[in-house]
Amino acid sequence: MSPLISTADLADALAAPNPPVVLDVRWSLAGPPGREDYDRGHLPGAVFIDLDTELAAPPGPAGRHPLPSPADLERVLRAAGVRAGSAVVVYDASDGSVAARAWWLLLWSGHEQVAVLDGGYAAWVAENRPISTAAPTPEPGDFLVRPRSRPVVDAEAAATLARTGLLLDARAPERYRGDVEPIDPRAGHVPGAVNAPFSAHVDQTGHWRSPQELRQRFRELGVTAERVTAAYCGSGVTACSVLLALEVAGLSDRERPAALYAGSWSNWSADPSRPVATGDQPG
């Protein structure tokens, strides 16, 4: 299954005899809660999943959005109707930067049949496709979470990769440089990390750039088949967008996947003994 699906292809799939499970994961760091957007309208049959409470464990030393436990994630996915053989489509408001977290968690859990809706809810609505305010009650699924199907690194491994491989920082350039830090204890980036803002993956309409464009972008950032690559962001959410973009570009896949530093900057910056680099160079 391709990591991205168009609105037209999703509409066809929803009209087919065995439609995919559709997950609405709209969320914004600044709020309001994504559930409010879902209640005002969502794709027909879509099930809402809350990023803060269902796609992450409670915040703490591991970061602001630690990975959920396998048991908790399995409960959430089964309640949404995910079965072992079902296709799953996830969407957010527009650019896929949040939906990518759900996409990656499903891959991490061992479920390969998952795609992100290109353009998200905004593209669906812009094309006057049907929306609903009814919350479905899906038949419980039977999916068994088998974690570690995609690699995860901790702070120590991320620091090593920044020296010996390639560590991509998905945050906006001003946060990477350390000009501002609105959330976490310290400003800057992991020494050696290369800035790869997630916003560059899509065009002005919120649609994903072509595989060729993404491949060229990542080549310029130093991604090669020989370099082990990982990504991080503020709390492990938008870094998944980098991992998605690498797969769209054909530079990461099941056989040679890039890794996620799940704790990300919220974990790194919380430890005062860890070094911090500032400025627009890796350091």
Active-site amino acid positions: 233
**145 is written with which tokens?**
């979470």
Reduce the DSSP state of residue 268 to 3 states and report it. helix
Strands 4-5 and 114-117: parallel
Give rounded-to-5 percent helix, strand, coil for the chain. Answer: 30, 15, 55
φ, ψ dihedrals at 164, nearest 5°:
-110, -15
CA separation for the pair 239, 242 (Å, rounded):
5
CB 71 within 8 A of CB 157: no
- What separation in angstroms does the CA of 30 have from each of 27, 39, 57, 79, 270? 9, 18, 19, 27, 21
Residue pointed to by tokens 């053989």: 85
Reduce the DSSP state of residue 44 to 3 states and report it. coil
Helix crossing, 239-248 with 99-108: angle to 10°? 70
Nearest to 235 by CA among 200, 193, 275, 270: 270
